[in-house]
A and B are shown apart, each in its own frame.
Chain A
């Protein structure tokens, strides 16, 4: 299933294009900042856009877990409520460059979730952080 089918976002806000690997404790996605993103200027986006990409990956992980319960709607609006220890290794990212987004579950007690995330370009790490999210009620 494509991330776009699981996220409440629509283009150009959708920054993930596929799930590469799903594990018990996390997942790996491929993402790309589209050149149509409002955060792109002269072909590059600030590196902190990777935070949104990572937050979307946590939402995909949460939605995949919820898919096991067929009563749950597929798309639910979630909110990033805390960012801790975010380190950005570069000032900007080229639009259209393929990125790998890695997510590890630190703890989940619905509607709250805590995830460790990394965004990588090739072998280099662009972002590492711990994100806390809040999942909205059904239908939001």
Chain B
């Protein structure tokens, strides 16, 4: 996990047929370093870091193995609140997700989750 870029602690909150998580994007997150000078925007991979952390909390050990689709609708900046919603995976390990900041849709799509082999 990236330093100072973490989900709020605690168990995931149930949301419909899945879970939701919250956090605030810290203004001093190193993820903003160099992206971009004078106009900080959280890179899309910063969203993936948080999505992967959310999947691990909800689904257990595993890795992000792919993205069927990810639509990036609005950028995230320093101090923005974030809500992550995950649906339960289907038989193929596909997990639908949506990220919102307040009422703004940030991104949405379907990721491929690969459970760790025991």
Contact = CB atoms under 8 A, between A and B. Distances in A.
B72 A9 contact: no
Contacts of B2: 38-39
Interface string A69-85: 00000000101111111
Given A10-B37, A51-B44, A91 B30 contact: no
Given A10-B34, A87-B66, A140-B39, A52 B71 contact: no
B33 A12 contact: yes
A81 B64 contact: no
A38 B49 CA distance: 11
Contacts of A51: 44-45, 48
Contacts of B18: none
Contacts of B41: 79
A77 B36 contact: yes
Interface in B69-97: 69-73, 75
B31 A38 contact: yes
A38 B33 contact: yes
Nearest to B36: A8
A91 B33 CA distance: 24
Contacts of A49: 45
A81 B105 CA distance: 13
A14 B34 CA distance: 8
Interface residues of A, number: 31
A11 interface: yes
Interface in A48-63: 48-49, 51-52, 55
A129 interface: yes
Given A52-B45, A87-B66, A38 B3 contact: yes
Given A55-B44, A77-B39, A140-B39, 8 more contacts: A9-B35, A12-B33, A79-B72, A82-B70, A83-B109, A84-B68, A87-B66, A91-B63
> 9 closest A-B pairs (Cβ-Cβ)?
A13-B34, A38-B30, A10-B34, A86-B67, A13-B35, A83-B70, A91-B63, A87-B66, A52-B45
Interface of B: 1-3, 5, 29-31, 33-37, 39, 41, 43-45, 48-49, 52, 63-73, 75, 109
Interface of A: 8-14, 38-39, 41, 46-49, 51-52, 55, 77, 79-88, 91, 129, 140
